[in-house]
Amino acid sequence: MRNVLAVTHAGFIVTAFLKLLAITAWDRAWLDPSNNGITEWRFDDARWRLGRYNDTSHLG
């Protein structure tokens, strides 16, 4: 197993959700990742799984 860490802007996180969860432009969804929030994706069994989204527990 390999780990990859990417530090990015919220736009990339929202795009990943749209792509990996197959959300189309016709669906209604609101994603607003916070500054310093952690979003974790896991790839196993040949599919992507969301491990955590917008986790800010490390801040407090």
Q: What is the pLDDT of residue 3?
A: 85
Q: What is the Cα–Cα distance from 26 to 48, expressed in whole angstroms?
A: 22
pLDDT tens series, the chain, 60 aa: 688 888 888 888 888 888 888 887 766 767 888 889 999 999 888 888 899 999 999 998
Q: Could you give the 3-state DSSP secondary structure of residue 22?
A: coil
Q: Is 58 exposed, middle or buried (0-12, 13-18, 19+ CB in 10 A)?
A: exposed
Q: What is the pTM of this model?
A: 0.73
